[in-house]
Each structure stands twice: as C-alpha cells, then as structure tokens.
Amino acid sequence: MKKIAILSAGLFLAASAAFAQSGTPSTSQTTPAVNTEHNPGAPVAGKNSFTEAQAKSRIEEAGYKDVAGLKLDDQGVWRATASKDGKPGDVSLDFQGNVTLAK
C-alpha cells in the first residue's frame, strides 16, 4: 500500500511539472533580436552578434555598394562608409538588423 501511495505521488508530481512546462513562452519582448521591419529609431544600441562578414553582407543586401571601413562601435552598432544609387554616405547596422544611412 505504501509503494502505491509513493508511486501515485511521484506520478502526480511528474504530471504537474510537465503541465507547468507546456505553456506558451511569452512574446512580449519589446526589442527583438532581429527585426523584420525597419525600426524608425534605428540604429538601436545593444549586444550585436553579427560577424563582420555578416554585417557587410546585410548592408550590401540593403542596396549599398563599396562598403568600407566597417567597425563595431562601443554601442554594438556596425558602422561603415558605402554608396547607394551613386551617393556615398555613412551607414550603420544595429543588432536588430536595421541598416540606416547617417543623417
């Protein structure tokens, strides 16, 4: 009888733990790791995980050419010079993937 009670309690606890973990994770994060839309407040400071090659590729995918002087600043923003539509300028890439032209 004692073994049945212990086994029942163990099964109850295991089921409770499994139920507690089956909830949907929260998606209320206000600054996603990679943004799918351009953030008007970009560039956003934050821990940047893009490598130099990935940063250059992202900037080029945004339509920029002749990307040069690519450096990661102390705010976690990749900065470089590049040209778009024949016009040179300073560009940046933040941790969300936003590519912006300096104003």
Please name which of 66, 88, 68, 87 lies closest in space to residue 79, comparing C-alpha atoms: 68
Residue with more model confidence, 94 or 21: 94
CA–CA distance, 72 with 62 (Å, rounded to integer): 18
Output the pLDDT for position 61.
97
Residue with more model confidence, 13 or 74: 74
CA–CA distance, 84 with 32 (Å, rounded to integer): 27
Average pLDDT, the chain: 76
Q: What ranges do the domains of the chain cover?
A: 41-103
Please name which of 96, 99, 102, 103 lies closest in space to residue 45, comparing C-alpha atoms: 96
For 94, half-sphere exposure in the C-beta direction (CA atoms, 13 angstrom radius) is 22
